[in-house]
């Protein structure tokens, strides 16, 4: 995008027959890593924008919806999360939110592509501000291998903050991977995964939950939330538990007294995300 006059960039979502567009000032950077193409733009109204293989990943303006729900919903659902692993999450926004929890003692972020984090450090420094927290480990490896080698019963919460189930992320949405997650989780452990759009990709959520069930997870809750720059703007995360438990119960008083600021997540927002609209509840039988 050579011209500096604003032009529109649209991401077409073939599977939903829709698109999302942002008015851009200029292209800032681009890198072809061994895994994916990462592009960075400056927009007129949404700050910086990261695309991976043409899919919008992060904007300055709206990333908080996703990062806050992917971190705080599972962490306040867990009784006392101490050791957290993020698979993917290379923009570091989820890591920053996880580290706001004073009870968390270790947070590992394992993304397959170091270039995503290097670009985030340059163009989303605010998302990377906790990378040097002594509790944080930012590493680069295939999350599939990482989880396969994780020590049994060593993790309290696993957050799968990956791209869509294609390319390097495809293997993060199947039974074999979920079996390694189950083994790595401590009793009371939770897995949370970005579960795409309940409006346009309900079958993917059902397939995910089916594979999680086959892997041995026993209870599930899908929490919808807004995410404007993703397909349909209506996104979700799905929490799965190792043991039978009611995932509509969470540490509401702790969430209400959270010792940190957020832009979207509150105890009431969490509670409201547990009230599913009929079309979602019917499909998920939740």
Catalytic residue among 161, 214, 219, 286: 161
Task: Please check if 60 is assigned to a binding site.
Answer: no
62 binds ligand SAM (CB under 6 A): no
163 binds ligand SAM (CB under 6 A): yes
Interacting residue with ligand SAM among 42, 68, 111, 179 (CB under 6 A): 111
Interacting residue with ligand SAM among 51, 127, 169, 202 (CB under 6 A): 169
Which segment (122-130, 167-175, 245-253, 268-276) binds ligand SAM by CB under 6 A? 167-175
261 labelled catalytic: no
60 binds ligand SAM (CB under 6 A): no
39 binds ligand SAM (CB under 6 A): no
90 binds ligand SAM (CB under 6 A): yes
Task: Please check if 72 is assigned to a binding site.
Answer: no
Interacting residue with ligand SAM among 13, 41, 65, 66 (CB under 6 A): 66
Which segment (156-164, 185-193, 218-226, 257-265) binds ligand SAM by CB under 6 A? 156-164
Task: Please check if 133 is assigned to a binding site.
Answer: no
Contacts of 133 (CB under 8 A, 6+ apart): 99, 107
159 binds ligand SAM (CB under 6 A): no
**Per-residue H/E/C for the chain:** CCCCCCEEEEEEECCCCEEEEEEEEEEEEEEECCCCEEEEEEECCCCEEEEECCEEEEECCCHHHHHHHHHHHHHHHCCCCCEEEEEECCCCHHHHHHCCCCCCCEEEEEECCHHHHHHHHHHCHHHHCCCCCCCEEEEECCHHHHHHHCCCCCEEEEEEECCCCCHHHHHHCCHHHHHHHHHHEEEEEEEEEECCCCCCCHHHHHHHHHHHHHHCCCEEEEEEEECCCCHHHEEEEEEEECCCCCCCCCCHHHHHCCCCCCCCCCHHHHHHHCCCCHHHHHHHCC
162 binds ligand SAM (CB under 6 A): yes
Interacting residue with ligand SAM among 74, 88, 189, 231 (CB under 6 A): 88
Residue list for the binding site for spermidine: 67, 91, 161-164
Residues binding ligand SAM (CB under 6 A): 52, 57, 66, 87-91, 110-113, 116, 142-144, 161-163, 168-169, 171-172, 194
Catalytic residues, by residue number, are 161
């Amino acid at each position: 995008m050579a011209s500096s006059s604003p032009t529109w960039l649209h991401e077409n979502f073939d599977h939903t027959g829709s698109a999302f567009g942002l008015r851009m000032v200029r292209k800032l950077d681009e890198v072809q890593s061994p895994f994916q193409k990462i592009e960075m733009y400056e927009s007129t109204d949404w700050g910086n924008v990261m695309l991976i293989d043409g899919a919008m990943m992060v904007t300055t303006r709206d990333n908080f919806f996703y990062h806050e729900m992917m971190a705080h919903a599972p962490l306040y659902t867990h009784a006392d999360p101490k050791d957290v692993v993020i698979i993917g999450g290379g923009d570091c926004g989820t890591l920053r939110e996880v580290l706001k929890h004073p009870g968390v003692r270790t947070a590992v972020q394992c993304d397959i592509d170091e270039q995503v984090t290097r670009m985030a450090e340059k163009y989303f420094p605010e998302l990377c501000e906790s990378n040097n927290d002594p509790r944080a480990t930012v590493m680069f490896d295939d999350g599939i291998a990482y989880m396969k080698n994780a020590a049994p019963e060593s993790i309290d919460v696993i957050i799968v903050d990956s791209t869509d189930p294609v390319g390097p992320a495809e293997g993060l949405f199947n039974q074999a991977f979920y079996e390694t997650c189950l083994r790595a989780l401590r009793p009371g452990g939770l897995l949370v995964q970005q579960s795409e759009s309940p409006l346009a990709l309900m079958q993917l959520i059902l397939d995910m939950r089916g594979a999680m069930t086959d892997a041995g997870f026993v209870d599930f809750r899908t929490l919808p939330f807004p995410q404007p720059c993703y397909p349909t703007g209506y996104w979700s995360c799905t929490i799965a538990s190792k043991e039978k438990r009611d995932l509509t119960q969470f540490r509401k008083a702790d969430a209400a007294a959270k010792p940190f600021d957020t832009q979207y997540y509150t105890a009431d927002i969490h509670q409201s995300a547990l009230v599913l609209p009929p079309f979602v509840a019917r499909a998920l039988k939740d």
